[in-house]
Structure 1
Amino acid sequence: MQKPPSINLSFLALLGILYSVQSVLGSITFQGMPAVFRESGIEPIQIGLIYLLMLPWVFKFLWSAPLEIWRQKQTYRTKKLFFIVNGLAITILALLTITTPAVDFYLVFALLMVIAVLSSTVDIALDGYAIKESNVREKNWVNVMQIGGGYLGSIIGGGLFLLLVGLYDWKWAICAIVVFLFLMLSYVFFQQQSTPHQQSDIAPHQSLTKAFSSKKILYGISIVIIAQLGLRLAQGMAMPFFVDYGITLTQLGLVASFGGATVSLLAVFLTGLWIAQKGPWFVLLTLLVAQLFIYLSYYYFSLQEQLSFFEACVLFLLNSACAAASFVALYTILMRLTSPEQAGVDFSLLQSVDTAIALLAGISSGVLVQNLGYQNYFLFCCIASLSAVVTLPLLFSFLSSSYKEVI
């Protein structure tokens, strides 16, 4: 009897750290900045413009194939790319200390755009490396490292960053995050190149044409659009909602960094076990129903003039847990749909679709709140989630007969 492959803990640790670094950079931009901008007096419709920074993630699939071909030709290029490009992104983050959003919004925006281009490039290589180099036993843990690392980074970039801005100021918060990121990145520098499986110096042919001609990827695109619309729409103005309803940045940072840390990471781990028992489709559909009730709760509380700290905690923690769990379920499905031969290209395309939804939803959320108020905004979130609950089971029934490995 053949012995099952072993789990390379060093490989998984590397993935967890790199995904966390990626997430810190993204979370500062898309979670921390909207709340800081709102406290600085920037209008909601202008805050919505920050989601234009998602454009590099929307279009990263365009350079995914040449990047993956270049990376896979020589083993050492992977580690070099991770260290140098992430290092440049963190250095540019440090340059934000020369100004503030209230003084020069557009300079802050420009620096964040450069960070986004660099970070999205690393993301292509990291996903391709993680999916292709993991063995059968490691693949479920790769997904946990991706989502868990993502939420750990979210806690730092969204929660801890806001806490530091509230307790000290903008510049001290940026400096603290930069030091922390360089410490994390040092693990990549000192670790030996982790290659759990033998790589060939001849990279397989990879192209967007192969991705778009794959029925699995086309199904994946449909799944992302249906499942993510409600969640992405709600993410757009959720943090400014708490600020406008009387919650301070210090309080928001405390909830996000400590409470959010516990529930998000716990949700990631428990969802992994849940998926092993019930499968990703059942878990995703159940979470979408829970998501609908959470957004109804947001609507109910938006009818009040102010939120108590307790009410804000309950809303934030429930939404954090549900979002974390749904990402695990959805990305498990998407990873199963990708081809191992061009995992970076396929997964980049699916993520680009997800990011495009987040971009459009983020901009739309600012417009909706500015013109219709938070009540109607959360009603739109409810409608989007309800449509997913109704539509996805139909797609599931169709897929179950053709691609049983995805179920």
Structure 2
Amino acid sequence: MKRYQLAIAVKDKEYTRRIADYIRGSSFGERWQVSAFTHPNACKQFAKQGYAIDLIAAEPDLLRELQSELSHIPSITLVARLGETGGQPELLQYQALPLLLQGITDHFEAMSHKSGRGLSMHPAGKGAMVLTVHSASGGVGKTTLALHLVGAASARGLRMLYLNLERWNTSELWLQFGGDAIWDGEGLSELLYAIKAGSKSYAAWLAQHRKFHPQLKCDYLLGFRNQEDRASLLPADAAAIVDSIAQSGHYDGIVVDMDDGLDELHIELLMRADRNLWVVSGDQSAQTKQSLMLRYGGQKFGEAFRGISARSEVVCNGMNAEIGNSLSAMEASLAPVALPLVREWRQGELHPVGSSSSYRAAADRLCTHLLGGSEEPRIHAVG
């Protein structure tokens, strides 16, 4: 992965030291090399000496002085309150360092996509790619698979977001395991309100309200503030949430963790997805429910559902892939990777994501398959 030169210009020397120390000891050090300045003339001299600067992050007054000579370099303003710069790229200066650095990275990559500076780009107008993780019944391992897939894709350098749209969202149990997630901020309810109000500031909203998971190296959003918002979610609203994130420029892929079942909302998301994974377990009842659901989908939704099936694969969880060949009645391809049965996960105790090396390896192989064996951004998941 290429390392880029980040110039930080702030007056507080201790602030620049903390940022530099944090980057050196974190995964952001793989992406950024930092030079810190407390005076704009020092930064200008640095550039005049021939040192390349890919991005400047500076306090407003320092940035104004720098732009007199370095206006050709992309920049982000570090502000005390959002909205100070009249629409220019900005980030809150005093926030958790992981969020600040993730925001800097995302703003830079969004700028790079727009200017064609050589970073991987998406097909025109498509935004991030979408993958759904879905099933006919609960308890078959959708959330576990979705989280492992988003982690595997993030490990390949892709910018990923995990999005849980289940009616009863318990993903925080896994996202908080060993982490510092705080589930008291704004989440999907606020994003939905903004969409319905006609706001177009999705990218700025995401930059301020997404959460970063340090183990999975991906972003996620808090759930709905109240259960009624999710219970009354319309199919068009669910699709609008996915589209707003996909078009934000922040991500290569979105993995959406879906409810079990099949209604108009499911169909809307499955039609929106670029790829879909149907998860089945070794339980005969779960397999029968899956077969019945897919048969019903074909009868109820006709050609639209056949298009969904053509972009779908059945993933066998906790059973031999050969057994999955008996599921041919589902009229969907069988994924070439089966997920192993992890017996210690069946004891009823909460398990951290990635705690099973065999499952992690299988999810990584499945991710490689979904990516087409390349490093190009190919995932946007709903599950």
Same fold by TM (over 0.5)? no
Larger radius of gyration: 2
Larger proportion of strand: 2
TM-score scaled by length of structure 1: 0.24
**Structure with more of its chain in helix, by fraction:** 1
Provide the TM-score with structure 2 as the length reference: 0.25
The higher relative CO (CA closer than 8 Å, separation ≥ 6) is in 1
